[in-house]
Amino acid sequence: MTNSSTILCRVHGTDRPGITADLMGVLAESGAELYDVQQVVVRGRLTLDILFSAPEGRSTVKDLLFYGWESGLDIDFEVVDTAPSPPQPTSVVTIVGTTIGPAAFGAAAGAIAEAGGNIERIVRIARYPVVAYELIVSAGDLATLRENLMRAGQEHRFDVAVQEERLEKRLKRLIVIDVDSTLIQDEVIDLLAEAAGVAEDVKAITHQAMEGEIEFAEALRRRVALLEGLDVAEVERIAREVRLTPGARTLVRTLKRMGMRTAIVSGGFTHVTDFLAAELGVDHSAANALEVADGKLTGRLVGDIVDRPGKARILQEIATREGIPLEQVVAVGDGANDLDMLAVAGLGIAFNARSAVREKADVALNVPYLDALLFLLGIPRKEVEGEEVGPVPVPGLPPV
């Protein structure tokens, strides 16, 4: 080994402040040229790789070995090829699950290898309310990576997102969220129907719409007509009592703290979305407006209907108003009514969605915590709310 070679120095040992600074000091004194540095600490154990070359005749390697001996560190060296590797396309793979054991992780790694990809870096970004890892993958066909990883995720019960490692991935600036069964756990039309005593009639129309027998707009008009005479005070009560999806407050607060804009777009009703927007501090909201006369619902709607194409149109209008390109917009929803909105956004996320929606979305997330969306954006748990807190239990689910 000669000091003029390109050398990979590998350092292992108990971490403490100052190790990296000391090693760089040794290299600086010898006049070494620094090419690359990678460092990770796991449970107090340091792994540090330094790629460098040093002038002929300098005792750089000996000096590093002596420092390691004095500091109780294991240091070894390898002469490496100086030829630069050709640039490879890079992907970000995020895997999320209530638990991720060796079998699941191995299946994900195997799926990446089968697609011709190579894992360059692995970082755990969350341990609660779910476990999440971010993997930086070089090479490999993006479509094949997605297909292989989705298959592995279905078999081993984890969710996966595969995205190109581009600036747009790290610079999402607007998130648009569906309301019923996404931001909240309820379907508001069912709650209103129950209050009006027409629950079974409304369910029958909903079933016809889901079977494709009635268009959404017509089904909505028929259901709203059945609400005629319902006191608006009941609507306002229901708006106050809807159940937020676990993690909804955390998601919105964290996004706002990071400077992102937020919006909720619903095929439901403004009485609910306006209340939620004010309660959560959401920047934009849009939904269908119920006509009110003498303190009661008339059974009619006011203005344009917010349906499947309407949601996509509203998303685009909000993005234009905010000056945000669609590539930097995230859309989240659970139903067929959200498909156009998911398609037009730079990243479309199906949250606990029906199979037809999961298949067409960019990413499917099937955990019951809405703030797990943050991990798909590369935001680690320690950055959520600015501190690490314990898991929040959800009734009926095992603790994480």
Q: What is the pLDDT of residues 178-211, one digit of tens each?
A: 999 999 999 999 999 999 999 999 999 988 887 7
Q: 3-state DSSP call for residue 144? A: helix
Cα–Cα dist 204/215, whole Å: 14
202 in the same domain as 120? no
The whole-number pLDDT of residue 271 equals: 96
Per residue in 348-390, pLDDT (tens digit) is: 999 999 888 998 999 999 999 999 999 998 888 888 865 444 4
How is residue 151 written in tokens? 């298959």
CA-CA distance, 173 to 171, in Å (whole number)?
A: 6
Looking at residue 83, its pLDDT comes to: 60
Beta bridge partners of residue 290, listed in sequence order: 301
In which domain, by residue range, is 14 found?
A: 7-79
- The confidence score (pLDDT) of residue 135 equals 93
Residues 161, 303 within the same domain: no
Percent of the chain with pLDDT over 90: 73
Residue 209 belongs to some domain of the structure: yes
| One domain for residues 71 and 103 | no
Together in a domain, 231 and 348 = yes
Beta bridge mates, 184: 180, 244
For residue 324, count other CB atoms closer than 10 A to its CB.
Answer: 18
C-alpha–C-alpha distance, residues 202 and 311, integer Å: 22
Question: What percent of the chain has a predicted confidence (pLDDT) above 70?
Answer: 92
Catalytic residues: 178, 180
For residue 69, is it within any domain? yes
Note the pLDDT of residue 82. 63
Residue 145: is it exposed, middle or buried by C-beta count within 10 angstroms (0-12/13-18/19+)? buried
Task: Give the model confidence (pLDDT) of 223-253 as tens digits.
Answer: 999 999 999 999 999 999 999 999 999 999 9
CA distance 377 to 390: 21
Q: Tell me the mean pLDDT in the region 167-176.
A: 79
Mapped onto helix, strand or coil, the DSSP state of residue 5 is coil
Residue 350 to residues 74, 155, 181, 248, 387, Cα–Cα distance (Å): 47, 19, 11, 15, 27
Same domain, 181 and 123: no
Q: Among 105-114, 175-184, 203-212, 304-313, name the one with the lowest average pLDDT.
A: 203-212
Average pLDDT over residues 290-307: 96
Of residues 96 and 81, more confidence is placed in: 96
Claim to verify: residue 14 and residue 102 sit in the same structural domain:
no
- Helix, strand, or coil here: 218? helix
**Total structural domains within the chain:** 3
Q: What is the pLDDT of residue 5?
A: 80
Residue 56 lies in a domain: yes
**Higher-scoring residue by pLDDT: 325, 389:** 325
- Is omega for the bond preceding 129 within 30 degrees of 0, making it cis? yes
Of the residues 165, 191, 224, which one is the last residue of a structural domain? 165
- For 339, the enclosing helix (H) or strand (E) is helix 339-344
Mean pLDDT of 69-83: 88
CA distance 301 to 224: 8
Task: Say yes or no: 33 and 142 in one domain.
Answer: no
Checking if the pLDDT of 1 tops 70, the result is: no
Is residue 396 included in any domain, yes or no?
Answer: no
Q: What is the mean pLDDT of residues 31-48?
A: 91
Which 8-state DSSP code applies to residue 184?
B
**CA 364/CA 373 separation, integer angstroms:** 10
Q: Is the pLDDT of residue 394 over 50?
A: no
Residue 84 lies in a domain: no
Q: Let me know whether 142 and 191 are in one domain.
A: no
Judge residue 128's burial from the number of C-beta atoms within 10 Å of its C-beta, 0-12 exposed, 13-18 middle, 19 or more buried.
Answer: middle
| pLDDT of 140 higher than 60 | yes
| Measured CA distances, 141 to 118, 164, 288 (Å) | 11, 11, 43
Do 161 and 188 fall into the same domain? no
Number of H helices, E strands in the chain: 15, 15
What is the largest distance, in Å, between two alpha-carbon atoms of the chain?
94
Q: What is the CATH number of the domain that holds 181?
A: 3.40.50.1000
Asked if 368 contacts 397 with a C-beta cutoff of 8 angstroms, the reply is yes
